[in-house]
Amino acid sequence: MPDWQKPRHEARRVDWTRRSVLRAFSALGLLAIPATVMAASPGLPPLRFGLTPVFLDSDTELLGALERYLTGRLARPVALVKRRTYQEITTLLLTGQVDAAWICGFPFVQFRDQLSLVAIPVYRSRPLYQSYVIVQAGDAAADLDGARGHVHAFSDPDSNSGFLVTRYLLATRKETPASFFRRSFFTYGHRNVVRAVASGLAQSGSVDGYVWDVMAETEPTLVAGTRVLHRSEWLGFPPIACLAGRRDSPEIQELRKALLAMPEDPVGREVLRTLRLDGFDTAAPSLFDAIAAMSDFVKAHA
C-alpha cells in the first residue's frame, strides 16, 4: 500500500486563503525555530524556492517569516521567489533560476521530461484534489451545458483546476471557451474566481476544489453566493518540482527530507494543520497521467 493511502492524523479544519497561509506561517511560531534545528551555515549557497500566487500573497513581512523558517529547517539560506503567474515560475524553474518550485500539475506534465517530483502534498489522506465549475447560487443551470453563454472566470492559463479541466470538458463536446462561453477572462487566483462569480462579474468559474471547500467554511458569506455545478475526477495535487538533473543534489534532498518529516515535528504539524494537509509524500509521475491525458486531448481537438 503506498504511503499516501495509509491513515494519517486528521487535519484540523482551519482557514485557507493565499493571504491566510502566510499569516499562519507567521502566527504559528515560525519565527521561533526549535532548538534542535541548526542555524543556517554561512558558507552554503541559498536554496531558491519558487512560489506561485495560488499559495502565497505579496505580504513582505510574512514572506520574510516563511523565509526565516525554511532557512532554519534546512540549515542554509533560503530565497523565496514569487511571481504573478504559473508561466513565470515555470520558466524560472526550467532555466535553473530557482532550485525547486510549488507548481501545478498542468505545467508539470507539459515539461515532465525536464522536471522531477520533489514532494506531493497529502490532502485528506491522498495526494489528490478536484476541479470545480461553480455558478452563482441562484443560477438555474443543472449541469455544465447549462453554463453555455455565460461570462466565465478562469484562474490561470497554466492551471489544471482553473483552466485545463474545463477546456477538456468543452473539448469533449467539440467546443472551446470562445465558442461555448459568451466571454471568459483570467483572474490569476482561485479566490478571485470565487469573488468574481459571487459578485456577478462572472456567471460561472473554474476553481480549485480544495480552495473552494475551505473558503466555504472560512468565508461562508462570500461562498454562499456560489454553488458547485460540476466536480472533476480526483487528480494529482499541485506538486513541488525541480529540474530532473537536480533531483539528487544535496539541497533538493534536504528540502525533500524537511517536507516529509513535517508530521514528526511540532511546528511542522501545526503548519500542516493550518494548511489542512496531512503532510508531504513522494509519488511517481504517473500520479499526473490523467492530467497529461486531458492536455493531450485538448491539443488534439484544438
Mean pLDDT, consecutive 10-residue stretches, the chain (302 aa), reads: 44 39 40 40 81 56 58 83 90 96 95 97 95 97 97 97 98 97 95 95 96 86 97 97 95 90 73 75 97 97 86
Give pLDDT, residue 23.
46
Pairing between strand 226-231 and 279-281? unpaired
CA–CA distance, 114 with 242 (Å, rounded to integer): 9
CB 121 within 8 A of CB 104: no
| Dist. CA 242–CA 98, nearest whole Å | 8
Task: Report pTM.
Answer: 0.82
pLDDT at 14: 35
pLDDT of residue 271: 59
110, three cell numbers: 507539459
The cell for 202 is 462572472
C-alpha pair distances (Å), 221 with each of 198, 216, 264, 296: 9, 8, 36, 38
pLDDT at 32: 36
Closest CA to 130 of 169, 175, 101, 100: 169
Q: What is the pLDDT of residue 166?
A: 98
pLDDT of residue 158: 96
Max CA pair span of the chain: 62
In whole angstroms, give the CA distance from residue 127 to residue 5. Answer: 9
